[in-house]
Amino acid sequence: MDDKIKILIASVLKPADDVRSCYKIGQSLAQTNKYEVNIIGFNSKKKAKHQNIFLFPIFKFKRNSFKRLLAPFSILKIYLQLKPKLILVNTPELLWVMFLIRILFGTKIIYDIQENYGLNIKQNQIYRGIAKSLALLYIRINENLSKHFIDGFILAENIYEKQLKFIHKKPYIKLLNKSTEEIQKGTNPIKFTKSDSLKFIYSGTIGKEYGTIEAIEFCKKLYNINSKITLTIIGYSTNIQYLKLVKEAIRNDVYIQLKTDEKPIPQSEIITEINNSDIAILPYQLNPNISGRFPTKIYDYLALRKPMVIPPHTQWKAYLDQYQAGICTEFNNPDIESFMQELSSTTFYKKHPKDEIQWNTQETLLIEFIKKILSK
């Protein structure tokens, strides 16, 4: 008889094989052989790589689809089929159905907070006017009520400990989105010259606050100095109008390639493109929503020994300086000559990143936290 403890991870807008849910939290729990991990998420053709992980790719709607309102009922139906002892939820709009499950069945609930959702809505342009006000109110009510029904919280960013007051009524841990990629043990530091053929990469979410168009304009200026540079943009966008602007911005530039899809790009494809590149570009717009966070992709770039170009962010720069892994530039008004001079005079990765950037350094903390919640 299989006596593994069933855990359900529930999301609406993340794919069922989402890196954090499946290959970080899910894999860490499944490999103990004590837990059966079931993950509900957005449509994905992938299959789980671990025998104790089962995927339920049930959602196929767009971010602003009316069908999102029905998602909690789909999750409730699967919950009744599985009867897990613990649910990890990472979408705020699912919280109300979690409260219901907690009241009716006593199931343990953990809220994995991957974003400051209220601040996201304030900063982005997806919602406007009364729709934005209603979305903010809905999230605030759900998250404030969570302190009465949720058994514990997991934070994906250090800053959330200060930003989110409702978490302090219950146990919580911080599980940063560190890399699952094996650290490349290159023996030589990395150097470039002004005339090198350089492959730049922009990976991850395509959007205004992530600076996709700024990345394009920056590389266009570089191309005017060195026609041997290329830029690959690989990622997913929920903003169709912004994606149109991106496509228009590169329409006549054959040295810039866009790889995107109607659903999130598999992480394996992104990693392949990163490995094929020379320099990663992270032209984030440093608004209040972005500036307090630490981009997940930095850990992967470090593991794969890719030099990075970042905006002038003090904390990010200090972290990269440990490994001589990046340089800063002002993307909105770049001094291209100065950038090329700094790029060619910098020696990258004179020190190699070690286990501190790896996800598995946090596994014990996760497993102990899950045991603590289940034993309450």
Q: pLDDT, tens digit, for every residue of 31-71?
A: 999 999 999 988 765 665 678 999 988 866 555 555 666 77
**The pLDDT of residue 136:** 86
Query: Do 362 and 352 belong together in one domain?
Result: no
Query: Do 9 and 126 belong together in one domain?
Result: yes
Q: Does residue 213 sit within a domain?
A: yes
Query: Do 140 and 24 belong together in one domain?
Result: yes
At 254-291, the pLDDT tens digits run: 999 999 988 788 899 999 999 999 999 999 999 888 88
CA 64 to chain centre: 20
Query: Do 142 and 37 belong together in one domain?
Result: yes
**The pLDDT of residue 342:** 96
**Domain tally, the chain:** 2
Strands (E) located in the chain: 5-15, 35-42, 53-59, 86-89, 108-113, 152-155, 172-174, 199-203, 230-234, 256-259, 279-281, 308-310, 326-328
Query: Do 86 and 214 belong together in one domain?
Result: no
Q: Does residue 237 sit within a domain?
A: yes
Query: Do 157 and 222 belong together in one domain?
Result: no
**The pLDDT of residue 60:** 67
Contact present, 286 and 313 (Cβ < 8 Å): yes
Query: Do 256 and 368 belong together in one domain?
Result: no
Q: Does residue 190 sit within a domain?
A: no
Q: In CATH, what number is assigned to the domain containing residue 231? A: 3.40.50.2000
Tell me the C-alpha distance between 117 and 113, whole Å.
9
Flag whether pLDDT at 114 surpasses 90. yes
Query: Do 370 and 299 belong together in one domain?
Result: no
Q: Token match 């990976």: residue?
A: 203
Query: Do 14 and 151 belong together in one domain?
Result: yes
Q: How many residues does the chain have?
A: 376
**The pLDDT of residue 126:** 65
pTM, full prediction: 0.92
Query: Do 108 and 231 belong together in one domain?
Result: no
At 187-196, the pLDDT tens digits run: 789 999 988 9
Contact present, 105 and 151 (Cβ < 8 Å): no
**What domain range is 65 assigned to?**
5-178+358-375
Query: Do 311 and 341 belong together in one domain?
Result: yes
Q: Does residue 91 sit within a domain?
A: yes
Q: Does residue 188 sit within a domain?
A: no
Query: Do 328 and 302 belong together in one domain?
Result: yes
Q: Phi, psi at residue 288, to the nearest 5°?
A: -60, -30
Tell me the C-alpha distance between 322 and 52, whole Å.
38
Q: Does residue 187 sit within a domain?
A: no
Contact present, 92 and 117 (Cβ < 8 Å): yes
Tell me the C-alpha distance between 25 and 367, whole Å.
9
Q: Does residue 186 sit within a domain?
A: no
Positive/negative CA dihedral, 173, 174, 180, 185:
negative
Tell me the C-alpha distance between 240 and 3, whole Å.
46
Q: Does residue 24 sit within a domain?
A: yes
Give residues with Cβ within 8 angstroms of 296, minimum separation 6. Answer: 177, 204
Q: Kindly state the tokens that stand for 364.
A: 């014990």
Contact present, 263 and 286 (Cβ < 8 Å): no
Closest CA to 158 of 183, 178, 175: 175
Tell me the C-alpha distance between 86 and 374, whole Å.
7
Q: What is the mean pLDDT of residues 156-160?
A: 96
